Amino acid sequence: MSIITLTTDFGQKDHFVGVMKGVILGINPAATLVDLVHDLPPQGLTQAAFILMSAFSFFPKGTVHLAVVDPGVGTKRHMVVIEAGNHYFVGPDNGLFSYVLDKVPLFEARYIENPSLALPQISRTFHGRDYMAPAAAHLSLGFAFDEVGPLANDLTRLKTLRPEIKPNLIRGEVIYIDRFGNLITNIPNEECEGWEVIISAGPLTLHGLARSYSEVGPGKHLAVTGSSGFLEIARSMDSAENPPDLTLGTPVQIKKSKQ
């Protein structure tokens, strides 16, 4: 078994994802390829980082996660392979794996420098195809991790997602909006479960957690412990992003008291 997931900002109107799959299958014909997301906003680094963090642990150990959101392609930026929690991550060194590494602080990272991992011909603008897809394919075949290249001891990292947590007060924000318009915050579910909570988000105040999206009437907002591990603000049968003006970055504050 060798699973390789693919996360890119390539969209779906071009052949770029398919071409990377062709390169992978040329090296490892038995690889099982799974698309995570390709419809990221171009250069949507934080969204990609959130998706990788939310998804990777649902795959079997040993899975290789190839992620190509690479606005710096062709510049001196490094490409890296990371082993964390028995998963492998392959991508540019631009912070894509930051949130994964916030969750799995014990990891080893190496720069992709071994020339035997690259395609014979290298383009200026598609290193996903020329360097990273082949590296992922070779890793899925058991290529020795310490032969990938030198240790990468100073990875580029995004600002952590962690909210400000005080005994009875949490200050976080909306960090992701899903296709249903549910607003995912950076406040871990476990900080809220078992407490009496009052949630403030923009002009909205919500008392307590709902057990399902349909616990309140259609069009009403609710807060619920989300499936990605973080508190979500949703709107029954509607998008929570519609007025009252909640969006990416909206501050979310929770007052906690004993139940």
Binding residues for a second copy, rule: CB under 8 A, are 1, 3, 5, 10-19, 21-23, 25-26, 29-30, 32-40, 42-43, 51, 54-55, 58-60, 63, 71-75, 123-126, 129-130, 178-180, 211-215, 224-227, 232, 237
Q: Which is nearer to a second copy, 26 or 115 (CB)?
A: 26
Q: Closest approach of Cβ 214 to a second copy, in Å?
A: 6
Q: Which is nearer to a second copy, 38 or 171 (CB)?
A: 38
Q: Closest approach of Cβ 23 to a second copy, in Å?
A: 5
Q: Take residue 253 and report the two structure tokens written for it.
A: 């504050």
Q: Closest approach of Cβ 209 to a second copy, in Å?
A: 9
Q: Take residue 21 and report the two structure tokens written for it.
A: 């799959």
Residue 120 CB contacts under 8 Å (≥ 6 apart), including other chains: none
Q: Which of 9, 75, 63, 70 is nearest to 34 (CA)?
A: 63
Residue 29 CB burial class (10 angstroms; 0-12, 13-18, ≥19): exposed
Q: Which is nearer to a second copy, 110 or 254 (CB)?
A: 254
Q: Closest approach of Cβ 17 to a second copy, in Å?
A: 8
Q: Take residue 237 and report the two structure tokens written for it.
A: 């049968």
Q: Closest approach of Cβ 53 to a second copy, in Å?
A: 10
CA–CA distance, 65 with 108 (Å, rounded to integer): 15
Q: Which is nearer to a second copy, 222 or 246 (CB)?
A: 222
CA–CA distance, 97 with 104 (Å, rounded to integer): 10
Q: Which is nearer to a second copy, 10 or 143 (CB)?
A: 10
Q: Take residue 112 and report the two structure tokens written for it.
A: 């992709």
Q: Closest approach of Cβ 166 to a second copy, in Å?
A: 26
**Phi and psi at residue 113, in whole multiples of 5°?**
-130, -15
Residue 41 CB contacts under 8 Å (≥ 6 apart), including other chains: 9, 47
Q: Which is nearer to a second copy, 19 or 204 (CB)?
A: 19
CB neighbour burial string for 133-159, b if at least 16 within 10 angstroms, e if fewer: bbbbbbbbeebeeeebbeebeebbebe
